Structure 1
Amino acid sequence: MSRTLPGLGLGALRCALRRPISVAPVARPLSSSSATSKPRLTSSSSIPSTSLLTKERVTALWARQPHPAAPAATMTHRLLQRAFSSSPLGRIRDHYNRSSGSGSPPPRPGVIATIRARVNRWNPTYVVYAIMALNLIIFLAWQYAISSWQRFRDPALYNWLWKNFILSIPNITEGRIWTLITSTFSQMSTSHILLNMLGLYFMGPAVAGLLGAFNFLGLYIGGGLFASMCSLLYQMLNRNKHRRVAGSEGASGAIYACLAFFGTIFPQATFLLFFVIPAKAWMVVTGIFIWDFYHAITSRQGLTDSAGHAGGIAFGVASGLYARQKYLGSWRRSFRL
């Protein structure tokens, strides 16, 4: 599945003041001690000494003398700092903490804010490629483990991968809860990883460029985690029925979260199904959700984790609705949509 995306070129965000604010220097008259009278020249008087303070020397000496900042400059600085503070919450803190003094150092950012700032320095597209590389590494590990078991009768690596990269009820009950995340980076078959990485390659950079590296990782990992929880719940509900699920793995739940997020933000965007059939984004997201939800309810035989797919789509739609309410206006102004 491919798609035709609207222009999402990330132009530099420009912000300019309507009117430049300049502070005029405040002139201060020279004191009586520094003022000198022009010497009266007579025929008998000698050539004036170079120690006499000419107008240029007085100006130069005055410029070298330290003098306090003008009150107007200090007031302008305070007005600018208050008008262009980083957040409304910061203005509220400044308003109620005036007793601390204007010279107090700003508070240190929290741990999450520091991590967010560092992660957002990464190129969002490279983050997508790193996720694809991680999926490929785990896929190659699976292939080596399967080959070792078949050729050398050595199941050690296969068992280790199964315990740490497959979402199953035994793994969770035995305390390996990290499989809720690690299973979203695991693909055992060639067709599985090709389809998933193809979808991530086309959809990932667009969403990552829109959200930034930190928020994209939050969407991707959060969508995969919620999809795993839905898949695990489905396995528990069908534990004693005719369809027993040994385990689940794959990045499709996280990728569907990205797809649903983009479709919720830009419902009129055009996707190309099978590289040929054009369809609106909201139609694609709705159709996939209905199909997977129906497939999970009817419990038909198959190798598709429909419950995980539906969970990933639900997470992406919820995240998209939240983002539309909070950020859509600024995105449209930034990207000229």
Structure 2
Amino acid sequence: MTLPHPVLLADIGGTYARFSVLPEPGGRPGPIRKVPTAGFPGPVDAIRAYVDRQDAVRPRSAFLAVAGRITPGITRLTNAPWRFDPGGIGEAFGLEAVRLVNDYVPLAAAVTVLDPDDPAELARIGPAVEGVGPRFVLGPGTGLGAAVLIPAGDRLLIQTTEAGHIGFGPCEPDDKMPWSALMAAEGRLTAETLLSGPGLVRLVRALAATRGAAVGWSSPPEVLEGARSDPVARDAVHQFARLLGRFAGDMALVFSATGGVFLAGGIAPRIVDVLRGEPFSQAFEDKAPFREAMLALPRAVILHPEPAIDGLAALLADEDRFLFPAQDWRA
């Protein structure tokens, strides 16, 4: 299904929703408006606040990337109470078509248009990105999103995953992690339990409790700021990087990501220097009997401020090139 222009573009996560309009085929997205997801009861209200602005271009269709599992009928955000009914959204705004995709579909597409030589777009934390072979995108933020971009002849297949919800736990005899305390507090541990913004807070609070230190952190920015001077917060960030490296390396093995591993989301861009250090790299590469292969895998952090919006535009600019799961509605 071809989406008629102008197209409303949206990147909707558990914390923020971002909106733009692509006015014409091959064009550039217009100015991006970012609003807190919690500021609206649902997507229709947030979209209405955007399209009813005096200077807004009225869209004919919508391409919505949402942080949730795309299912027939109603799609729900994983970490916020919003519900998405493509037909209801289309009818509310008189649209001709609506497409829903997981938010990591455009992030995977974005790695095809980001400039690997521009440090404002990609920060190297390992070997240089060459773009050969499958590319894996992983993003700790409100949750833990993941997708893989797989070459298939002249086309590119984007496979979204629920990798963030697989079980997660210790794999070294003594890694100085409070696993028992975390399991007692959280029950089943998943990768997202720790490798996310809320996960970073869980981690620092568990470390503080086991050391008898004051537990004074309630948000990821507080932990990251505290890591400048507080030894517990600093250790939590380094443990976070180590666990992220371990998980990213495991996923690189699963998907044979010889084209590289790309870290997105709200946390990785703020800890690039830590991710260039030993905790991340050693855990990423320590995959016997494939250590030599892991040493060669490209690694980068996506620094581009709004990669998903550019990824949505890239998908529309070259529709025949990409294959990806989506839910479509047409009037």
TM-score (norm. length: structure 1): 0.21
Tell which structure's C-alpha radius of gyration is larger: 1
Structure with more of its chain in strand, by fraction = 2
TM-score (norm. length: structure 2): 0.22
Structure with more of its chain in helix, by fraction = 1
